[in-house]
Amino acid sequence: MECENCKLEMVNLFDSNVNPANYATIMLHIQQCPSCQSDFEKAKAVATMLKPQNQPSAPILLKQNIMNQLKMEEEKMKTQEVKKVNLNSRFAKIIGVAAAVVLIMVAIPIVDNTTNVFNHSARAANSFIEGSIRATQYIKSMVINLKVRTDAYDNFSLVGTKYELVNHKIFKTFASPAKWRVEKPGRTVVFDGTNQLIHIAKVNSYLKAPAGYNVTEYFQILLEPEKVLAKEQNIIKSDGSKFIMDEKNGQVYLTITSNAKGNFINDYTKNSSIDESDNRREYIFDKETKLLKGLRIFILEGKKETLIVEIESIDYNVDISENLFSLNLPNGAAWQELNQVATSEIFRNISSKRAAELFFEGLSKSNWQLASQTFQLLNSNTDGAKRIKENYGGLTLVRLGEPFKSGQYPGEYIPYEVKLKSGKTIKHNLAMRNDNPNKVWVVDGGF
Ligand SMILES: [Zn+2]
């Protein structure tokens, strides 16, 4: 395949109905051609930013604990008919086209001025947004202190009204290459200019992922302040979110109210992330410098509002120690690479339920060769892998329920009940996805 064709047809990879033969041809070229690979990474990054269900596979383990935090309801174990919903493949394709031309870098007017001549607020918003994009090009560094209602030890996108507010810090230098660090008590991610380095305290794991992986999830928007408004503009345009812009005491207030996104025929993941909640986002910008000064996000449940995210301070152009942009490996620890492509033959061309059954069979017989084909962590020598083998090896599978989809998760949840050799019974939903090049089912979390 020629580069020119590849760059044109790359768009089709973002369509969930892509022809598998085409997919394979394009991927083969991308894997061999650095130029197309770089374009593909960019397209993926933009697609991720615009529509989370197109994100490249989130690393295994990161979502592990989400499901532990959500109570599994008994009725989910019963057979239930879950309608299959085709998640908007046409929209995905349009996003892909946009991604290919990196349209996102250019401000897209919220409304067409010729048809909405009298819409003062929208026009004011457009001009402010364009000014803000220019202003942020002059930032050299930034430090954000914020609080998020989440589990300190879980992935970055998990939020919930029942959690405590947890302190987070974001550091970024906009030098070339840009570097950043996002941290909370149980988890740190550093981008050192080449790789994303992740430390997960709970399982004491050190992971390494390429630049294109979506590890920081929701925080991507704050890591790229120049894109905050462009992204919000796109959301307003694409889903009709309501917005109000106001100006007071030298500050500009932009308030956006959105409905939960995703498929909630089964509402298992409702309100477990910001996008999957009805929410209101209140931005404050400095009118003069046009820089972001504050943000508060609320989850809305009927008349009840819960503060979920609050920026306490943002400082621009401060000195940041270079040490913060590296992560040191303790003696005896090793990086676990997250860029391995799943290649298992056993875990493809089967249903998610069968894949879950095989995974539990592996755990039950302590057959790590089998279980690690769908859960790569088991191949590593990490504390996390050891702990899982000790706790879950020799378990008994009591029952499996019918798989269901929920929210924006690109895979499926499979309800299960197991009995550990310690005698403890666990009922949860195993999260599995197969949105990878070889369509292999991989375990994402939920145990
Ligand atoms: Zn090429």
CA 371 to ligand 1 centroid distance, Å: 36
Mean per-residue pLDDT, 301-308: 90
19-33, 151-165, 366-380: which has the highest mean pLDDT?
366-380
Q: How confident is the model at residue 84 (pLDDT cuts 50, 70, 90)?
A: very low
- Span from the CA of 6 to the centroid of ligand 1 (angstroms): 6
Q: What is the pLDDT of residue 19?
A: 75
Q: Which of 132-141, 166-175, 350-359 is predicted least confidently? A: 132-141
Q: Is the pLDDT of residue 94 over 50?
A: no
- At the fourth CATH level, which superfamily is domain 116-325? Lipoprotein localisation LolA/LolB/LppX (2.50.20.10)
Q: Could you tell me the distance, in angstroms and rounded to a whole number, from the CA of residue 266 to the centre of ligand 1? A: 41
274 vs 404, higher pLDDT: 404
**pLDDT at residue number 304:** 92
- CA 35–ligand 1 middle distance (angstroms): 6
Lowest mean pLDDT among 8-17, 250-259, 380-389: 8-17
For position 52, what pLDDT does the model report? 34
Average pLDDT over residues 344-366: 95
pTM over 0.75: no
Q: How far is the CA of 100 from the centre of ligand 1 (A)?
A: 14
Q: What pLDDT score does 121 carry?
A: 55
Contact between 405 and 416 (Cβ < 8 Å): no
Of residues 146 and 333, the one with the higher pLDDT is 146
Residue 127 clears pLDDT 90, i.e. is over it: no
Per-residue pLDDT, 46: 55
pLDDT band at 86 (very low <50, low <70, confident <90, very high): very low
In this prediction, residues 160-167 reach a mean pLDDT of 91
- For residue 111, report the distance from its CA to the centre of ligand 1, in Å: 37
The band of 272, judged by pLDDT with boundaries at 50, 70 and 90, is confident
In the reported structure, the alpha carbon of residue 223 is separated from the centroid of ligand 1 by a whole-number distance in angstroms of 30
HEC profile of 64-88: CCHHHHCCCCHHHHCCCCCCCCCCC
| Torsion sign, CA atoms 383, 387, 388, 390 | positive
pLDDT-derived band at 7, boundaries 50, 70, 90: confident
pLDDT of residue 123: 59
Least confident of 63-77, 268-282, 299-313, 393-407: 63-77
Give 96's contacts (C-beta < 8 A, 6+ positions apart): 10, 11, 12, 13, 14, 15, 43, 47
Residue 75: the pLDDT is 32
Report the separation in Å between the CA atom of 11 and the middle of ligand 1, taken as the mean of its atom positions.
Answer: 14
Residue with the larger pLDDT of the pair 104 and 300: 300
CA of 10 relative to ligand 1 center, distance in Å: 10
What token pair was written down for 76?
Answer: 């989910």
Contact 187, 156 (CB under 8 A): yes
Say how many Å lie between the CA of residue 293 and the centre of ligand 1.
42
Assign 145 a pLDDT band (cuts: 50, 70, 90): very high
Q: Is the pLDDT of residue 219 over 60?
A: yes
Which residue would you say has higher pLDDT here, 133 or 195? 195
Whole-angstrom distance, CA of residue 1 vs CA of residue 211: 26
Ion ligand 1: protein residues whose beta carbon lies under 5 Å:
3, 6, 33, 36
Share of the chain above pLDDT 90, in %: 27
Lookup: tokens for 366: 């302590």
Residues shown for the chain: 447
**Residue 297 near residue 277 (C-beta atoms within 8 A):** no
| Interval 321-342 mean pLDDT | 85
Report pLDDT for 380: 76
Mean pLDDT of 263-273: 71
Amino acid identity, residue 327?
L
Rounded distance from Cα 338 to ligand 1 centre (Å): 24
Tell me which of 250-254, 263-267, 289-293 is least confident.
263-267
CB neighbour list of residue 63: distance below 8 Å, 6 or more residues apart: 155, 431, 444, 445, 446
Distance 233 CA to ligand 1 centre (A): 32
pLDDT (0 to 100) of residue 441 = 93
pLDDT in tens, 425-446: 988 889 898 888 889 999 887 8
Q: For the sheet containing 396-400, what is the strand order?
A: 396-400, 412-419, 425-433, 442-445
Q: How confident is the model at residue 376 (pLDDT cuts 50, 70, 90)?
A: confident
* pLDDT value at residue 139: 78
Sorted by sequence, the CB contacts under 8 Å of residue 163 that are 6+ apart come out as 149, 150, 151
Judge residue 86's burial from the number of C-beta atoms within 10 Å of its C-beta, 0-12 exposed, 13-18 middle, 19 or more buried.
exposed
Residue 275 has pLDDT above 80, yes or no: no
Mean pLDDT of 6-24: 71
Q: What is the pLDDT of residues 27-69, one digit of tens each?
A: 889 888 888 888 777 666 655 544 433 333 333 333 333 333 2
Q: Are 417 and 430 in contact (CB under 8 A)?
A: no
